[in-house]
Each structure stands twice: as structure tokens, then as C-alpha cells.
Structure 1
Amino acid sequence: MHNDGKVVPINKARATPSPLARLPVVLLQVRDKAAQQLQQGLQELFDNADDTLFEMADKARSTVDHHIFFEAMRDLRLKRKNFERVFMERLFAAFAGLGDTGRGELQLVPVVSYDATPSSSHDALEKAVALEAMLGRVRHRDGLALSQLTARLSAVLGNALDERENPLGPALLCEFFLQAGRSLGVEIRVKLIMLKLFEKYVLSDADQLYAEANQLLVATGVLPELKTVPSRRAGGRAARERSREDALPSADQPLDENGQQAFAALQALLKPVRGSVAPTLEASAEPQPIATRDLLRLLSHLQQYVPTPDAEDDFDLCNQLEQLLTRVSVKSGKSRVVEEADEDVINLIALLFEFILNDPTVPDAFKALIARLQIPMLKVAVLDKSLFSHAGHPARRLLNEIAAMAMGCNLCDDYPRDPLYLRIEQVVQRLLNEFVEDPAIFAQLLAEFSAFAADECRRSELLEQHTRDAEEGRVRTEEARQRVAEVLNRRLLGKVLPLAVVQFLQQAWSQVLLLASLKHGEESVQWQSALRTMDELIWSVGLQEDTEAGRRLLEHLPGLLKALRDGLTSAAFDPFSTREFFVRLQAMHVQPADGVDELIEVREPLVFSERPLDPALDLAPNDPDLLKVHQLRVGAWVMFQQDGVVTQRCKLAAIMAPANAYVFVSRTGLKVLEKSVGQLALAFKQGALQVLDDSPLFERALDAVVSKLRQLNHGK
């Protein structure tokens, strides 16, 4: 069986021959061709779902809605691969079912839910209406092509096939999509958004799906007499791709031409490295400098042969340029060399890129991209020496922007699909294709990339704030739980009380206290009332009948019971779940001496959450690695490593008191790690944690190169 690399065959468990083995080859071809298009449509759907949900979160009027859409974004990112896998499994299973003889009676397509549990009737109705409308639009638009495909499939199979049994029909495609989404923990609004996206990015291209399937069948002689239905290519994916092409803004900026003095200072340091770019000719041949314009033409020639990022061979610019000079020298019979100033620029750019490509701040995948910028950066430096002296130079700023955005990337095997990687690759390719001698293109690309970067940063900042808010809420809840535990322990430890009362206070009333603390604070009337009710309950079950207080208990019972019920209602407790306790409590009050409930002495303190001991407790206050942790600032980028392999690049988003938990987020603003002070200190000691320098890359590279050149000039 032919397997497409992007789809997953299923149903391998049967011992009998696979139904696919009984399918004609042309149906396998139809399936594989359709699977490729559907896979592309799903990928496009998920690529755009993130943007759509982000916009919904950005426009949300309430914190609850804001949280719902952000959580949906996170859920989709985590479950995307499984979603696509299940969809393709369902598609393959449907095709496999075509090979079964005696398929039985037609089963109508069920309106399944995203959830494992049934949704409310209102939600189900809303979803059913949306589905029916989607199916109606596809049938109205592509009904003829679909009916022709169904007829041709029936002819191949030798059995009459209903449209609803067609694996490529909109009904089954919707069912595959809904079944694949069952694991998503999202609410009805998000489900409806996903259905709309499915229609936009998958069902909208159904005409192409049916046209290509029909063409494959016609090519093998299946019902060729049916009139071909033309595909609508004015819309669909092609139109969407055209609409994404960004218009190039006019952002030409004048370059500063007063960089000669600073470059002259650099030239004095570059003397020890001169002589590396020269042709290998007879010593007697008198050198003849090549003009700067001719050098630019040679560089433009080399620029067209810069290898792709995945090329295995390294591109040595100096070596390649030397070979070109040698060929020119042999052809002219003269020893052609680069002028001294131009050679200094070549050497300086080479040293800068040597630093950049060894800098841990830049992820390896992006280093391969940035390395391709060496010739364009060299050409602009030859044209304009202010590149080395002015931080605002467009080419310099573009390189810095690219490096800054790439710094936080954790790229996996499918990194070529990462939107940031694709955008940087686009910038690099445009420079290689379009930059000849007009440096204005750097200002243009800088404006475009800066706008892209600003949008990405705004998105990540919103998500990061959402993460901080969630963490602060979690910490507040943990603190409140701990205070509730302390309150209960003070009242219960060492006392002999009915077991039912102890369990009620620890399991139910603790939640009433927790809610009062979180919503109203511990100075509130609600908190004090909950404490008073708890104290009265403990007092009531400890009285003896023959005491004056015991005899007056019945007068207080109605008020106590009402306070207990009101408190449980405020915490949304189901009254049926506490009915048994109130029955037993009544028995305790009516016959306190009869031992109607087991008595226990409370010896074990109640603990809601127990934090593990922090390794920092074993470190001296002046431990250098502990001091490094305390010097970490919010916003700092770090890199965690294990066995010398980078495992995570992330940013410190918050330091949560009182436990001093350090919360780290990814480039998108989602939480990825939480570490204690001690864990971070040990990571520093083991060399597994490195703080990344987020200062501008070009400036750091230039400082490092100048320092290195000074050492060479002083013989160190």
C-alpha cells in the first residue's frame, strides 16, 4: 500500500487481509491525493486558529471570556498533532470501509460533540444548526461535482453509494473533524469558531477536492461521459495566499555618511589580519588593486550562490572571494588584489560573523539563516562605513531585530513551518535576490520586520500578562488554603469530636472559609461569620444534656443550621451531598449522650499543600550561584541545558512571593517552567543554566572583535 508521508494508515489490528487490499488502485490514488489536500487545509486552519482566537481574546469584554479564548489557544497548540492524526485515521477508515461487502443499512451521520460527555441541549442545537448550514452551503455550491464523484465511486465499487457514505462528502468530513476534536476542552463559542474555520480552510476548497478525484477516475475510464465541472480557482486557498502578500511600505531613510573617522580607528586595529584575501600568484607579479565597484560586482556574483540553510557545506566567503580574484588575475595576467580599505571591511565583517555564529544567544537553526546575510552586510559596509559607528543604521538594526526575535525560539524538527523562521527566511532571501547596490532595501525590510516584531511582541505580552495573572491567582489560592488549614488546626487539634463533624469541617466548611477569604478577605463580615458558625458547631457537639448550656442548645439550633446551610450554598455545595451530615448532626444534638456518632481525637494537622524543601536551604547566603539567582531580573532570557543539549529557552516572567517561585514563559508568553531559588542555584552550579545576553547583537559582536584585535596588536 502506498503511504503518503504526511498521513497515518490505520486499522492494522485485523488478522484478515486489509479492506484496502480489496480496493481498486484508483481509489487508493483518490484517497492519497485527497489526504494531501485535506492535510494542507488542516494545517492552514490551525495556523490561522491561533490568530483568530487571539483576536477574540483581545476584544473580549470580560476577564472570563479573555481566559476562555487564551485557554483555547493553549489547548489547540498542545493537541494539534493528535487532532490532525485522528482526522486522517477517520478518513482512512472510511475508505477502508468502502471495501467491505454488505455494508449494511445506511447510518446517518451523527452530530457528535467535541466533548467526551454530552453537552447541554442548547449547545447541541446551536452546533447542529451551524453544521446543517455548512453542509447546505457545500451541497449548493459543489453538489454537482460531489454527485458525479459519488456516482463514479459507486461504479468502481459495483455498489450504489449514498452521498452520505462518500468519504469525501461534506457530511463525513465534518464528522471526522468533530471526532478528532473530542479531546479539546473548549466551550461552545470556541467550537463554533473552529467549525467556521473548518468551512473556510477545508470545505471552501471542496471543489478542488472533487475535481481532482473526478479527474483521476475519468483518466481510468470511469464514467467519462459525465460532463466535467470546472473548479472555482478565483477563491479558495489561492485567493487567500494572494491576500496575504504584504504591500511594501515606502520607508527609505537617509544613511549617515560620516562614519570614516570611526572606521579609520578600526583600520588601525585590523593591520595584523591583513593579507588573507589575495590571489595565489607568482611573487613577481605586481599587485593591482581592484576597484570598489568591481569588488561589489564580484560580491553580487557570489551572493547568488550562497547555500541554503540546510546545506552541509560551509560557505567560506574569504576563500570564495580569493578564488574569484585568482581567476580574474589569471585571465588578465595581473595580480588583482582588494584595496586596503575594502580588505579591512571584508576582514571586519568576517570577524563579526564569526562571533555571531558562535554566540549561544542565537539558536542554531537561525544561525544558518543569519550566516546567509554576510555578503549583503559586507556590501552595505563597503558602500557605507557608518554601519560600524551608528547604532541606528538600518542594516545594523535589521540584524539586531532578527537576533532579538530569534533569541527565545525553541525550534523542533518542524521549525521550517514556524512563522518567525519563515519571516526571517523571507527577509534574508529578499536581500539575496534584490540587493545589488542600493542600501535603501535595508530600511524597507527593517520597517516591515519591525511591524511584524511589534505585533508578535504585543501578542506575547498579552499572553504573558495572562500567565502572570493566573499565577498570582494560584499563589493567592495556595496562601488562602494554608491560612484556612491553620485556622482549622487551631480549633481542632487535641479535641475529641464526632468523626462526622471533623470530616465536615475539613472537607466542606474549609471550602466555605476558602471562598470567603478569596472573595472578601479575612477582615470581612463573611469571613468572621464563617468562623463564628464553625465555633458554634464545635461548641454545640461538645455539650452535655444536663448542663445549662446543653439545655439552651435547642434555642440556638435553628440559627446554627441556617448559618451552615447558607455557608454551603455560598460555596455552591449540592444540598443532597450534605443531607446525611445534617441528619447525623440532628441526632447528635437530640441525643448527645447516646454515642450516635464515633468520637475521635484530632491528632494530625490538616495540610492542604506541602511544599518540598528548597535546596537553597543548604547553601550559604553568599554562595556565588545563589547570588546569581537573586540577580536575575524579570524579563531576562535564560537557557536550560541537559547533557550539553539546549532543552528550553525561556523568559523570567514573574517571581511569586512568598515561596519565591520563579515562573518562566516561552516566546509566546505561555508558562513553561517554574523553579525555586535552590533549583536555579543548583542549575547554575551544574552548568545547566545560562543567562542570555539580550543586548543588541551587532554591538556585542563589534565590542568582542575590537577587544580581540587589541589583544592581537599588543601581542597577547
Structure 2
Amino acid sequence: MDNGKKILNTVRDAMAVGLSELVSEALSDANMKIVNEPAGRRSRNLNLMNERSAVLERFAVNMRAHFDELTGVVEKEVNVLGYGSLSLVEEEDLEAIIAMEGMISHARNCDISEYLSFTTRFDTLFYGMRIDESNNPMDPEQIGEAFKEAVRPLGMTATELLITYRKFNSGVFHNLEKALTEANNILVDNKVLPDLDMAARSRTEQQNKRSSRPQKINPTDRAFATAGAAAGGQQLLSVMQKLEPQNLSKSVGKLLEQESSADTLRAIDSESSDIVNLVTFLYEEIWNDKTVPIPVKELSRQNSNNNIENSLN
């Protein structure tokens, strides 16, 4: 067994165990909610606590299969849903299906940092294959599919299914970042892109960063710094008002040289300079473009000063 496959199996086994623990808690919460539902909206004989072991076993098997599909240990099963089978989906079941899709989309957006770090690292374990949403075992859609298949044999009512999906969302998807962090740590421990900036930082460092207070600034220094910045900005704008629209770049340079003795150059910081250069470049490109009509060029040249002032404001 090569090293890449060993690493994959380590991640696979850890995720199957960790996610199964979250699923177990979600099933407990769902069962408490279901037993309080009116009799007409739930199955008489359904007790998720009695079915929990079987559900967890199926879920773990499904999760491991998603990992094994990448190495060819098992073949990926393509589940094709035809138009004929769509008519067999009850309206209430459709609500649960749509709800799960929304949960999957939300989970992707919430855990994007850890998810991207894991995907980037995990992708390096394979040659000739790209890891993306369609085959990433830790993608919310893959995890959600593993759970849906695990509870399918229970034959739950639409109400029970929706409740169970919602508890799965709050118990598993809302804690997916922890699982992704664990998966990233396993890859880092195995020297898989250990210097990747976002995921290489430890959770302790992130917590310390959140808990640390910003350094206090002397009120006097802060007041004078604000006043100085405001004065510099006003001085810069007064200079910009004197610009000649005929040649913007030369006009800027000429005025800055003339006013250098009055500390004008020191008043213009790098950010302001970048703004001036950018706007100057844009208007010169417009003027040099032969496809732009002359009236448009004249109008843009006349408005160039005002636009620079607005940008600096």
C-alpha cells in the first residue's frame, strides 16, 4: 500500500468515526422531537433509538465508500432519477428533499475556509484526478447522501424525514468545521502541504487571536493622527483642483514638484498615489483609444479632475 493510500485510509476511518458520533446525537434529538408529534404525522412503530445502531453502521459504510471510490476499491454508483420516478415523489417528501439541498448549500458556504484547505491538500494525494464537489468525500452533498441512504430503509413519514434532516443539519453540518479541522490536521501531520497558510495555523492560535484585545492607543496620539490625516487629505484635494485637464499625468507631476517645499509629497500616502495613478491611467487609455469618439474623449477629460477627487474622498 503506497503512502498516499495510507493517508487516505487514515482520514477515511477518522471521519467515519467522528461524523458517526455527530449523527448519533442528531438521531437522539430527532427522536425526542418525533415522539412529541401528533399520531397522524408519525409512524407508530418508529423509534430512532432502536434503529440508531443500524443507521450509524450504514452511514459509516457509505462514508467509507465515498473515500474508497477515489482509489477504485469500490465503483461509484450513478443514481439516475428519471422523469417517471419524479411523479412518485410525494409533495411532503419533496419538501424534505428541497430542505436538504438548502442545508448542503449553506454548509458549503459556512465552512469554506476549512473546506478549501482540505480539498487543496486532499487533491495532492491523487494523480490524474481532480478533487471537487462531485467526488470530495467531505463535501456536504456526499455526507448528506450518505445519511439519506442510511435512513431510507426506515420508511419514515414526510414529517419524520423533515425533522430528522433538520436535526442532522444542526448536529452534523453545523459542526462540520470541527471534522474538517481534524481532517486537515491529519493531513498536516502526514506532511501534506503543512505550510498551507489558512489551515496550517492551529486552532489554539486562532482562539488566542480572537480573545486578544487590540493594543490601546494614546488618545492624544490618536487625535493628532486623525487631524493630520484630515489636513493631508484637504491639502491633496486642493492640489487636485488645480490640475489641468489637457494632460492629467504631467499636470499631477508638475504640481507635486511645485508644492514639494510645502510638504505636499509627504501628505500623499501610497494609497492616494495609487488612486491618482489608476485614474490617470484609465483616462489616458480612453484618450489614446482610436475607437472612442472625440466627444466622449473630451467629456471624459473634462470630468477627470472631479472623478479623481471623488475617488480620494
- What does residue 198 of structure 1 align with? 168
Is residue 152 of structure 1 aligned with residue 121 of structure 2?
A: yes
Contact 1:35 1:88 in 2 (8 A): yes
The amino acid of 2:196's aligned partner reads L
- What does residue 71 of structure 1 align with? 44
Of 125, 146, 151 in structure 2, the residue corresponding to residue 181 of structure 1 is 151
- What does residue 276 of structure 1 align with? none
Q: What's the CA shift for 1:23?
A: 5.4
- What does residue 270 of structure 2 align with? none
Q: 1:68 to 1:77 in 2, by over 3 A?
A: farther
The amino acid of 1:90's aligned partner reads N
Quick check: which one's strand share is greater? 1
Q: 1:232 to 1:128 in 2, by over 3 A?
A: farther
Q: What's the CA shift for 1:213?
A: 0.7
Q: 1:214 to 1:118 in 2, by over 3 A?
A: farther
- What does residue 14 of structure 2 align with? 33
Of 31, 34, 37 in structure 2, the residue corresponding to residue 50 of structure 1 is 31
Q: 1:118 to 1:231 in 2, by over 3 A?
A: farther
Contact 1:23 1:99 in 2 (8 A): no
The amino acid of 1:50's aligned partner reads N
Q: What's the CA shift for 1:86?
A: 0.9
Q: Which has the higher contact order (CA 8 A, sep 6+)?
A: 2
- What does residue 419 of structure 1 align with? none
- Give distance in 2, aligned partners of 1:163 and 1:173: 11
> Structure 2 length as normaliser, TM-score?
0.56
SS at match of 1:157: coil
- Give distance in 2, aligned partners of 1:169 and 1:26: 18
The amino acid of 2:66's aligned partner reads A
- What does residue 53 of structure 2 align with? 81
CA-atom RMSD in angstroms: 3.4
Q: Deviations over 1:271-302 (max 9, x none)?
A: xxxxxxxxxxxxxxxxxxxxxxxxxxxxxxxx
Q: What's the CA shift for 1:139?
A: 1.0
Q: What's the CA shift for 1:124?
A: 4.6
The amino acid of 1:134's aligned partner reads M
Q: 1:207 to 1:164 in 2, by over 3 A?
A: same
Q: Deviations over 1:605-630 (max 9, x none)?
A: xxxxxxxxxxxxxxxxxxxxxxxxxx
Quick check: which one's helix share is greater? 2
Matches within 5 A, 1:202-241: 202-229=172-199
Contact 1:207 1:231 in 2 (8 A): no
- What does residue 138 of structure 1 align with? 107
Q: 1:214 to 1:137 in 2, by over 3 A?
A: same
Q: 1:42 to 1:118 in 2, by over 3 A?
A: farther
- Give distance in 2, aligned partners of 1:119 and 1:186: 16
The amino acid of 2:11's aligned partner reads V
Query: Between the two proteins, what is the percent identity of the paired residues?
Result: 25
Larger radius of gyration: 1
The amino acid of 2:60's aligned partner reads M
Moved over 6 A (4+): 230-233
Gaps of 5+ in 2: 205-313
- Give distance in 2, aligned partners of 1:110 and 1:21: 34
Matches within 5 A, 1:308-323: none
Q: What's the CA shift for 1:207?
A: 0.3
Gaps of 5+ in 1: 1-19, 58-64, 234-716
Contact 2:92 2:159 in 1 (8 A): no
Matches within 5 A, 1:44-443: 44-55=25-36, 57=37, 65-69=38-42, 71=44, 74-100=46-72, 119-158=88-127, 159-229=129-199
Q: 1:204 to 1:195 in 2, by over 3 A?
A: same
Q: Deviations over 1:406-449 (max 9, x none)?
A: xxxxxxxxxxxxxxxxxxxxxxxxxxxxxxxxxxxxxxxxxxxx
